[in-house]
Structure 1
Amino acid sequence: MTAVPSRMRFQVGGQRSRIDAPELDSGALLDAARQQVEPLLREAVDGLAAPLRRMAGYHFGWWDVEGRPTGSTLGKGLRAAATFASARAWGADAAVAAPAAAAVELLHNFTLIHDDVMDGDHLRRGRATVWRVWGVSDAVLLGDALHALSTRVLIDSSDSVGVRAVALMASTALNLCAGQHFDCAWEHGGGVDVTDYLLMASGKTGALLGAACALGGLYAGADDATVAALETYGRETGIAFQIIDDLLGIWGDAATTGKTPGNDLARRKQTLPIIAALESDNPAAAELAGLYSDDRVLSNADLARVAELVEQAGGMTAARQLAELHRLAAMAALPSFINPSELRILGSSAIDRNR
């Protein structure tokens, strides 16, 4: 990986100064974040009772169903990377934010496990979901356990900002629940517009990425205004990320995404490409509305036709344009006196991705 010069800041005698530091691409940032946060995740998971520990390690990709090591870790690590990048943007060593990054990843994976149950998804990261292997009850319990671990990591990490961090994560969890409620409620109902969707995405996905960035700033010692700006950056980036997730849910490659394509369409979920297509005046929108309002089970041919109609009605184009607008809004939220280079890279990677 070739590094190119970038300008980073650090503290010297109370003054903010600049030094040259290498800038990495998104893949390197994500890899570095996963490597830095994994020891803390493993330490947290090791504190679980044996059955839950095995399920957690399987979910994270550390071992198989039987508990045999796989030598790998699954997941993008975007939220951990955003936490580290936010700390570095203020000029701190990323290590100070490692507990926050671990807590964010634990909370995120709690939501993934519960999300798989609610959506009935059979695959996560190319493997059977936890509920498919151990059942719904154990999957719910494991999600609850990871949620509790995220709080424990923050409480144990810092006397100075621990309470603020826990309060922020509690608010984030509440926003996540509200966003997920709307996401589930709109699966079979009409009347959802883009404004409704953005409210849902801000809670379901934006809140956690916003918290990741805010925690990075908080653990780095940033002032309140900067922490708030970082939270806005993360929230806007999270909305863009969710929009791209919706696109991948229709047109993604299962071998790359690790998920079954067309599941959102089969459940007639009100994702942004669908909403945008239905709101268009394109003739394809009428046929799409008919298929989406029909109660019958959609065949594979029907699902392919729905995807085709969404594209014809402009849903794909509109979704990509809106994702870009939120990426730009994220960058505009950052103050001029911090180094945004890594955050810019991560924001772009939230859109330019295929999984």
Structure 2
Amino acid sequence: MQVDNPLVTQAFASNKLNRSAGDKRDPAFVSVALRTPLLLFVNGAAVCVREAESKTALFWASPRDLERLGLGIYQDQISSQAGSASAAISPYLLGQDSGKWKFALDVTGHDTTIDRIQAAGYAFQELRPLMDKLPASDLATGGQAVALSQWHRNHSFCPRCGAPMQPVEAGAKRACTENARHREYPRTDAVAIMLIESEDGQSALLGRSKSIRNKGILTCLSGFIEQGESIEEAVRREVLEEAGLPVSSVVILGSQPWPIGRGGSCELMIGCIAKAAATELHPDMDEMDDVRWIPKNVIKQVVHASSQPDHPYMGGKGELPSEIDFWIPPPFAIAHHLIKTWAGQTSSPWFAKL
């Protein structure tokens, strides 16, 4: 079941680039687009930023900036040495903005280039600490650049024959160097994340898996959607596996791209609210640290505290009411908004309004 999306726009979901512009299948397209490009350097899971007047912004390198950094544009690649294949870096097209073509340039492992960039006064920062520093559209574009670069980096060889692969169509895919029909496409892993409403509608099920490092957090249950599985089926399976709880109705509220997923993956968090078909919990304590029902009045207090900029997860020193022993994720996570949306309803159960 799906309802009108009551969730606010999520972090990483405000990308203003036109991704449809240009014919990536045209071999000459990249060369033309690279005549006046703007490039965002990526190093591992970090993007290049500059600090000015206590503000942080993405650093978009122009051709003149490239020249100052000892780099040049040679046909469809960027290199520190003309004609040197070993020094060449393939740019990955992100999209068009105000007539300018924007690319990601993955300099991971190119130590000399990284040193020059940093010596020029720029820095590399990972996306998580930038969540409260960058404008929403820049954070989304930075996430796209990191996700695409990491995908290319992790798919160096053809999974069908083992031959090296190379980027084609401005980085929109990779092709096998032995058989061009063997192609791989940028991957997004779908994850179902769900708030479970109790049978009486007055409590929500929250938990914390053993993989969550912050032991003061309780959040929505979640899990990867398996092949051949619907979103609703994934919700029911994951809740049964993690909490030992059967679920009936499932409502899809919205989604959030998450380019900082596990192991460098890019995930799509699909946010749901589901109705419990029982009350007694039988959690898998090999996977979970904590699973419990939380009354709505308590959740409202935690939502308020966790919405503040002094949230400990963001490096702050905020405090909870003495009778409450957990936080929920801060507002950059879709889990926060699922919990907040549910808690913000009237005293009637969520499913009473459907």
Higher strand share: 2
TM superposition score category, shorter chain reference: under 0.3
Q: TM-score, normalised by structure 1?
A: 0.24
More helix by share: 1
| Structure ID, larger Rg | 2
